[in-house]
Amino acid sequence: MSVLGLFKRKQPKGSSPDQSRDRGILVFENTSEVIRAETALKKEGWKIRVMGPPPEVRSGCDLVIEIPLIEELSILRTLQAADVTPKDIVPVSSPLLRPVDLFQTKELGRYLMIRAANMKLTIDKRTLTIVNVSGGGCPDVPYLAQEMVGKPLADAPSPREIGHTLCGYALQLAYEEVKRQCSP
Amino acid sequence: MLALVGTVPHRDFPLVDSEVSLHDDEVCIQGEQVTVNRGTPALLAATIKAGEFLGQPAPHGYLVGDIGLGDGSRRLYEYLIQHLGESDFQAITFHYMQPDIGCHNRVLFVMEQMSERPILIADAGSMYAAKMSGKAMAYDLFTPDIGELAFLADEEAPHPFYTRGFILHEENRVPELIARAYAHKNAPQNLLIKGEQDYVANQEGIQATINHPMDEAMEAIGGTGDTLTGIVSVLISTGMEIGEAATIAARANRLAGHYAEPTAATQVMEIVSHIPKALEDVFCEKNR
Amino acid sequence: MNTTVDARGFSCPQPVLMTLDEITKVDTGEIVVLVDTDTSKENVSRAVTGKGWQVKDVQEEGKGYRITISKD
């Protein structure tokens, strides 16, 4: 059984950003899920911390897991393999933030481009082939592009399967929206 | 002399610290090759082509393989902490790196201790790390796109994925976004904002707008932001004033794209090949 | 016919740009370029080589250099 971490006091607004801005919180339904998640993540070598939730996070459970926020997608995959799904994932520094849920669609002749947050996915509408990936800044973006560009939408690996970061997660949202718009 | 720091999307690519060259569509460094495509390889290729036109020495690359796990980036951060202090680059561009506040701050600390502090340029994950760390003001130039500008403007967002909707909705209100970013000290001395129109800005607001030629397809093409960052990095490393370098780079990048007759399926190497001609034409325009 | 580009007193990348400008005008022949720093000497030499011109001669002159470039 893990040791309960100290309750983390929220930084006052306007103070200089602390080291926690690149950390996120996994919120679970109950303590046994927290324990299963903690075990799975530590087994994969993730640097995590079990702690009490900040006041903004309403949870049935009095434990949350602090994770490196950037690698959210990779962490979700580890949890999926362990058959445990968090109720929510939020940034430590601003627990009320939600992932971007706005999409921008642009028709470029025979091509369709969808933007989600900082990521853009472009397909050929006629062949439903992925022709381009642009945007982003995390190292999995060029890797995802390498694996996806030139492949039919139906055959390409999804960013959720092979991406690792929040940029990968944003590309997943764009990918899902492309699939939604292009499905019969 | 210019240094470029970033990752390549091959897990086994070793950490390399050497001069970079371009052969056909491959970037070569310390016996390793990587095909030019979006990301740091596109930055490198653009820098080399622009540098050749300007008679600049080949840029220096600090590269490592990282597919998003962050392992390569952390090794490179550690390497930079150990070695960057001994260097004497005029400018350093930080590019695709896994954002990590602790590592970022340690590298920045090393650079701030240098007797001749280099000009610091950041884009991609390095820019995210700088903003996340609250150290954007320590830099001389960022090159965000409009979505990333909204991220800079959102003082709460740790990553563009979490930019709040009401700020994203303002993406057409670039002056307000710029002002908000500076108000919260989340912008460096200069901004070169890439988009349908490119903007050169500083604390005082927009200094220049560059919007022709306009090829809609450029937004869809992966790597066109990287080529812009590469061109402006080279110009800055020649000693050119940053605002002027940014304006010229924006125009040259658009021209290079235009010469490639782009569609949304165009790949970035086609644009890179037109950079020398584009720069030549931009400087000719200036001299007329 | 010999033309001279006097790039002394100009900072980077002006000496290169002035030389490339002259190259565009004459296309072939011989050009003398005057610069006043090591950096400009090296940059000009690299840039013209990339355009198919040869660096025929480099002489120290005053506090700078006289670079003679040519193309047939």
pTM above 0.90, yes or no: yes
What domains can you pick out in chain B, each with its CATH number? Answer: 2-144+220-287 (3.40.1190)
Read off the pLDDT of each residue in B174-181 and give the average, rounded to a whole number.
95
* A69, A108: one domain: no
Question: What values do phi and psi take at C34, rounded to 5?
Answer: -105, 125
Percentage above 90 pLDDT, chain B: 93
The rounded distance, in Å, linking the Cα atoms of B225 and A28 is 39
**Residue whose entry in the numeric block shows the structure tokens 């607001």:** B205
Of B225, B240, B255, the C-alpha closest to B56 is: B240
* A80, A145: one domain: no
- CATH architecture of the domain with range C2-71: 2-Layer Sandwich (3.30)
Dump pLDDT digits (tens) for C1-11: 579 999 999 98
Question: Domain containing A163 — which CATH number?
Answer: 3.30.390
Percentage above 70 pLDDT, chain A: 89
pLDDT of residue A101: 79
Least confident span in A129-138, A171-180, C17-26: C17-26
CB A159 within 8 A of CB A171: yes
pLDDT of residue A60: 66
The rounded distance, in Å, linking the Cα atoms of B88 and A1 is 52
Q: Which residue of C has its CA nearest to B283?
A: C17
Bigger pLDDT: C28 vs B259: B259
pLDDT tier at B285, thresholds 50, 70, 90: confident
Q: Is the pLDDT of residue B277 over 50?
A: yes
Q: Is the pLDDT of residue C48 over 80?
A: yes
Range of the domain at A63: 19-91
Within-domain flag for A68: yes
Pairing of strands A88-91, A64-68: unpaired
Read off the pLDDT of each residue in B121-130 and give the average, rounded to a whole number.
98
CB B58 within 8 A of CB B51: yes
Dump pLDDT digits (tens) for A44-99: 999 899 998 888 887 668 899 999 999 999 999 999 999 999 999 999 988 888 88
Q: Which of A91, A125, A153 is the last residue of a domain?
A: A91
Tell me which residue in B52, B57, B240 faces C13 most closely, judged by beta carbons.
B240
Interface residues on B facing C, Cβ-Cβ cutoff 8 A: 52-57, 235, 238-240, 280, 283-284, 287
Burial class (CB in 10 A: 0-12, 13-18, 19+), A77: middle
Within-domain flag for A107: yes
Cβ-proximal residues to B42 (8 Å cutoff; 6+ apart), any chain? B36, B222, B223, B226, B227, B230, B268, B269, B272
CB B206 within 8 A of CB B181: no
Count of structural domains, chain A: 2
pLDDT tier at A2, thresholds 50, 70, 90: very low
Within-domain flag for A118: yes
Dump pLDDT digits (tens) for B70-96: 999 999 999 999 999 999 999 999 999
- CB contact under 8 Å between A139 and B168, yes or no, is no
* A123, A78: one domain: no
B272 membership: H or E segment, kind and range: helix B268-272
Task: Please report residues of C whose CB lies closer than 8 A to that of B57.
Answer: 42, 46
Of B284, B53, B23, B281, the C-alpha closest to C46 is: B53
Pairing of strands B119-122, B91-94: parallel
pLDDT of residue B268: 96
Within-domain flag for A1: no
B88 membership: H or E segment, kind and range: none
Q: Is the pLDDT of residue B5 over 60?
A: yes
Task: Please report residues of A whose CB lies closer than 8 A to that of B39.
Answer: 139, 141-142, 145
* A74, A144: one domain: no
Mean confidence (pLDDT) of chain C: 92
Neighbours of chain B (3+ CB pairs under 8 A): A, C
- CB contact under 8 Å between B161 and A164, yes or no, is no
CB A38 within 8 A of CB A66: no
Within-domain flag for A155: yes
pLDDT of residue A27: 93
Within-domain flag for A3: no
